Chain A
């Protein structure tokens, strides 16, 4: 099956040089092999396929998308927990894509991760004090007394009792465990914290506690977050800018208000209209745009625009032939990848299905 080659993408945003993290056209393909002795590659899962974005210091970039869109793989590539197949990751103006493990080690202090599952991400056989202190010990930060004091301080910062130092993870509830995960990430004073679905396993009331905590910590310690979630409400609450991913590609990237008030990509529009609104009157009055079908396989993604088989605005002969590149749509700083972006929002179901070609600014985008 012929694959559409990955076009070298122009950076769809200006970088000023003081970004904390720049991800430049990163791809991650997982090979699919056949055979036991002579393994030959028969294909690849294109989990992340050319994603570029930049994160400024002190901001929160939200990443949303359905399961299987590559958001977690992207996060692991950023952290160098996975080796990207191609592309560049620049952290504090230093290209870290090709650094060796030893070279990476001091940098790992500055980027930490909070994982989704608070049950699986804490070692059940270690005490909380050890779990939180481990990073401090690895980086040789402080004497044992100092480490202990620091850990107790951290436990307090995340809203746990410092006396919990000697307990095991199973003695805590899901929300408290996620607090331990946050304390562990904070231990070495990182610049960047990548949160991979940190609240999706929690109940709403506990989820609110963790979200408030993350916001408070950002204010107090000047943290920068990359916040991955599938819940659009949560992402909107915490993010300054939001990136929407679909099948390994970024389809739209904008400030929070631009994206939620005036989404341009039909996929973003469909996602937004699918979110249940906890208000019976508003929720039932609005017109939903319901997508049909499922996310296609990333092994053999649809040609050109990957969203075209599910897109209500699909135009035959254009969307399935020519791939839309990520380029400016609408207001400044708002980029999207669509030939027929939404004209306004909210939009009726009929208008949604009646695409108009993109205005000149989006059509001319590869040139600049």
Chain B
């Protein structure tokens, strides 16, 4: 029984231009103590997936169907009261921008204490204070006792992100959702934060759902990977399999467009064009990736492929019409750096 099971999740937004299908039939599961990475470009629906799971979408303009079962309770059907109990307690979230997700007019200590007191009736204020100092120490903030008196603007970007992580972990959540937690940070700080998240996962046993556009980060931290494009899962599997034997042209593009320290390539693989609009009616028919795909066939323009297991690896799913031997051949080309010349 997985900790979080998402089944056929769909989210629509009503906008002035029409209905946007931001998430369109996404399924995955997160096991206890494991890390799932969701990758994709901006606008692929990865953040909305998480906001939907957390019940943070505007209820008036959005509509979600499907289910997100957390410990056998469907989060989408939960009452607002029950949802408030779960959020920040059993599931917590780290947002991308640490500058805007802390309240600038309260001290960091007060914001941490608030998170403890809200979810624990039997805890006194001084216990809550002690707990927040403990967490700030755990995330590696020097002089934690004194820093609880400081306001967010007195911290640097990396330190603020640590405060966010401390706040997210303060009630020992079972699931931590991290939406691009290191994107706004420098590489050295990013390495610090990723190491910290990894260590805390080992100490606290939380599961992590990590959203990122950086395949390097996913390779470092995730156990399982979901690749999203145009509101749908295009490929998913164990991290080793997905990186060793990527099966979808979009994944090839993502991997090949990344300049790497350990490979010398003259040109990068480029995915031509832009991600499609997700307005209802404007989404490409057939395979959603076909207008940008270098391997497009006639069938791709008409029939959308199903998410099917890969030959020889039933834990590895992909959504592509290409023959298995073509996929394996191109994946091998990508690994040898020869794919870029073709694009």
Contacting residue for A208 out of B194, B218, B219, B270, CB 8 A: B270
Task: Give chain A residues whose Cβ lies under 8 Å from the Cβ of B217.
Answer: 276
Q: Which of B219, B253, B255 has the most CB of A within 10 A?
A: B219
Task: Give chain B residues whose Cβ lies under 8 Å from the Cβ of A231.
Answer: 187
Give A309 Cβ to nearest chain B Cβ, in Å: 12
Encoded as 1 (CB less than 8 Å from any A CB) or 0, chain B from 234 to 277 comes to 00000110010000000001111111111001111111101100
On whether A277 and B270 interact (CB within 8 A), knowing A204-B254, A232-B187, A283-B216, the answer reads no
Q: How many chain A residues touch the partner (CB < 8 A)? A: 45
Contacting residue for A275 out of B41, B216, B254, B274, CB 8 A: B216
Asked if A278 and B188 make an inter-chain contact with CB atoms under 8 angstroms apart, the answer reads no
The answer, yes or no, to whether B27 is at the interface (CB within 8 Å) is no
Task: Give chain A residues whose Cβ lies under 8 Å from the Cβ of B192.
Answer: 290-292
Considering only CB atoms, which chain A residue lies closest to B218 in the complex?
Answer: A278
Considering only CB atoms, which chain B residue lies closest to A159 in the complex?
Answer: B272
Give B54 Cβ to nearest chain A Cβ, in Å: 24
Asked if A280 and B239 make an inter-chain contact with CB atoms under 8 angstroms apart, the answer reads yes
The answer, yes or no, to whether A288 is at the interface (CB within 8 Å) is yes
Considering only CB atoms, which chain A residue lies closest to B238 in the complex?
Answer: A280
Give B165 Cβ to nearest chain A Cβ, in Å: 16
Asked if A233 and B274 make an inter-chain contact with CB atoms under 8 angstroms apart, the answer reads no
Q: Which stretch in A98-106, A266-274, A352-360 binds the other chain?
A: A266-274
CA distance A341 to B152 in the complex (A): 37
CA distance A238 to B257 in the complex (A): 13
Give B207 Cβ to nearest chain A Cβ, in Å: 18
Considering only CB atoms, which chain A residue lies closest to B156 in the complex?
Answer: A294
Q: How many chain B residues touch the partner (CB < 8 A)? A: 46
CA distance A273 to B186 in the complex (A): 13
CA distance A173 to B159 in the complex (A): 33
CA distance A284 to B259 in the complex (A): 19
On whether A211 and B259 interact (CB within 8 A), knowing A278-B243, A279-B243, the answer reads yes
Considering only CB atoms, which chain A residue lies closest to B158 in the complex?
Answer: A294
What secondary structure prevails in chain A residues at the interface with B? Answer: helix
Give A344 Cβ to nearest chain B Cβ, in Å: 17
Task: Give chain B residues whose Cβ lies under 8 Å from the Cβ of A278.
Answer: 215-216, 218-219, 243, 255, 258, 260
On whether A232 and B188 interact (CB within 8 A), knowing A208-B268, A294-B156, the answer reads no
Give B342 Cβ to nearest chain A Cβ, in Å: 13
CA distance A279 to B186 in the complex (A): 20
Considering only CB atoms, which chain B residue lies closest to A176 in the complex?
Answer: B274
The answer, yes or no, to whether A212 is at the interface (CB within 8 Å) is yes
Asked if B220 and A283 make an inter-chain contact with CB atoms under 8 angstroms apart, the answer reads yes
Asked if B219 and A234 make an inter-chain contact with CB atoms under 8 angstroms apart, the answer reads no
The answer, yes or no, to whether B327 is at the interface (CB within 8 Å) is no
CA distance A288 to B188 in the complex (A): 10
Asked if A284 and B188 make an inter-chain contact with CB atoms under 8 angstroms apart, the answer reads no
Asked if B188 and A204 make an inter-chain contact with CB atoms under 8 angstroms apart, the answer reads no
CA distance A207 to B257 in the complex (A): 8
The answer, yes or no, to whether A236 is at the interface (CB within 8 Å) is yes
Q: Identify which of residues 202-218 in chain A touch chain B, using a CB-to-CB cut-off of 8 Å.
A: 203-209, 211-212, 215
The answer, yes or no, to whether B110 is at the interface (CB within 8 Å) is no
The answer, yes or no, to whether B42 is at the interface (CB within 8 Å) is yes
The answer, yes or no, to whether A350 is at the interface (CB within 8 Å) is no
Contacting residue for A271 out of B188, B257, B271, CB 8 A: B188
Asked if B187 and A271 make an inter-chain contact with CB atoms under 8 angstroms apart, the answer reads yes
The answer, yes or no, to whether A66 is at the interface (CB within 8 Å) is yes
The answer, yes or no, to whether B189 is at the interface (CB within 8 Å) is yes
CA distance A288 to B253 in the complex (A): 28
Give A239 Cβ to nearest chain B Cβ, in Å: 11
Encoded as 1 (CB less than 8 Å from any A CB) or 0, chain B from 18 to 45 comes to 0000000000000000000000011000
Contacting residue for B220 out of A207, A215, A276, CB 8 A: A276
Q: Identify which of residues 237-283 in chain A touch chain B, using a CB-to-CB cut-off of 8 Å.
A: 237-238, 260, 270-283
Asked if A173 and B274 make an inter-chain contact with CB atoms under 8 angstroms apart, the answer reads yes
Asked if A277 and B260 make an inter-chain contact with CB atoms under 8 angstroms apart, the answer reads yes
Asked if A205 and B254 make an inter-chain contact with CB atoms under 8 angstroms apart, the answer reads yes
Asked if B220 and A234 make an inter-chain contact with CB atoms under 8 angstroms apart, the answer reads no
Task: Give chain A residues whose Cβ lies under 8 Å from the Cβ of B269.
Answer: 208
Q: Closest 5 A-B residue pairs measured CB to CB?
A: A276-B216, A208-B257, A237-B259, A274-B191, A208-B268
Known A-B contacts: A203-B213, A284-B220. Give 17 more (CB < 8 A).
A204-B254, A205-B257, A206-B41, A208-B256, A208-B257, A208-B259, A208-B268, A208-B269, A232-B187, A236-B259, A237-B265, A274-B191, A276-B194, A276-B219, A278-B255, A290-B195, A291-B188
In the assembled complex, 8 residue pairs joining A and B whose CB atoms fall closer than 8 Å, in A order, are A204-B214, A207-B257, A233-B216, A237-B259, A276-B190, A276-B219, A276-B220, A278-B243
B binding-site residues for A, Cβ under 8 Å: 41-42, 156-159, 186-192, 194-195, 213-220, 239-240, 243, 253-262, 265-272, 274-275
